[in-house]
Amino acid sequence: MMDILGWMDVALQKANDSLKAGEVPVGCLFVYNNEVIAIGNNAVNETHNATRHAEINCIDQALEFCKNKSLNYKNVFTNVDVIVTVEPCIMCTSALYQLRVRNIVYGCANDRFGGCFSVFSVPNIYNSETKIMGGVKSDIAMALLKEFYKGTNPNTPKPKVKKGRKTKKCDNLEYI
């Protein structure tokens, strides 16, 4: 039996570490045979790579685990429970579905990029046994996100629109 609340506490601590490091506070872990085989957080700002989400970092670690233990990654992933503090984005949900993980358990919904249900239902396009459970300690996960978004992300690109430049509008589209 998986200790969802206990594992989520570990993921929340990793998310808190992300917040302290100036990253979007998302923590993730992969549990295989009741053992954590991967633990990660977002490293987008650190690496300057928009794909280095917590889930992707965990996928890399899990693949390394399989290599080091001489295990077939396909067999391992079908027995992995993903615990993540925020609903995975569309990219990460798709990757997890392609790997056929057993479960995805997340904290709060991701109203901007969520790939489980919030923005796009990735599960509708895959024939997979993956089960999804959301809302686990969501209030704590949401509080971390709110704390992050109170500040400014120092790595956000500066707008390239020149000051004083007018925009033209055409059928709800904006052209510069």
Task: Report the C-alpha gap between 49 and 44 in whole angstroms.
Answer: 5
The vertex-80 CA angle with 78 and 64, nearest 5°, equals 95
55 tagged catalytic: yes
Among residues 23, 35, 55, 147, the one annotated as catalytic is 55
Task: Report the C-alpha gap between 115 and 155 in whole angstroms.
Answer: 24
Buried/exposed code over 112-144 (b: 16+ C-beta within 10 A; e: otherwise)? ebbbbbbbbebbeeeebebebebebbbebbeeb
HSE of 173, CA atoms in CB hemisphere, 13 A: 4
Distances (CA, A) of 110 to 102, 165, 169: 21, 34, 30
HSE of 32, CA atoms in CB hemisphere, 13 A: 22
User: Which residues belong to the active site?
Assistant: 55
